[in-house]
Amino acid sequence: MSTAKPINVYSIPELNQALDEALPSIFARLNYERSYGLLDTKLYIGYSIAVVAGLSFFLDKKFERAEIVVYQKFLVGAYFVLSLMFWYFSRFIEKGTVYVGKKRDTKDEIYVKTKFENNEPLYLVELIQKKKGSNTKKELKAQLKVNKVFNESGYLQNEGLFKWFSEQHDVLITKKNE
3-state secondary structure of 145: strand
Predicted model pTM: 0.85
Amino acid making up residue 113: K
Q: Tell me: the pLDDT tens digits for 127-160?
A: 999 987 778 889 999 999 999 999 989 999 999 9
More confident residue, 143 or 119: 143
**Which stretches of the chain are DSSP H helices?**
12-29, 37-62, 65-88, 158-174
All structural domains of the chain with their residue ranges: 12-31+104-174, 39-93
Q: Tell me: the pLDDT tens digits for 6-57?
A: 999 899 999 999 999 999 999 999 999 999 999 999 999 999 999 999 999 9
Tell me the angle at which helices 12-29 and 158-174 cross, rounded to the nearest 10 degrees: 60
**Rounded Cα–Cα distance for residues 38 and 43 (Å):** 9
3-state secondary structure of 93: helix
Q: Tell me: the pLDDT tens digits for 163-176?
A: 999 999 999 999 87
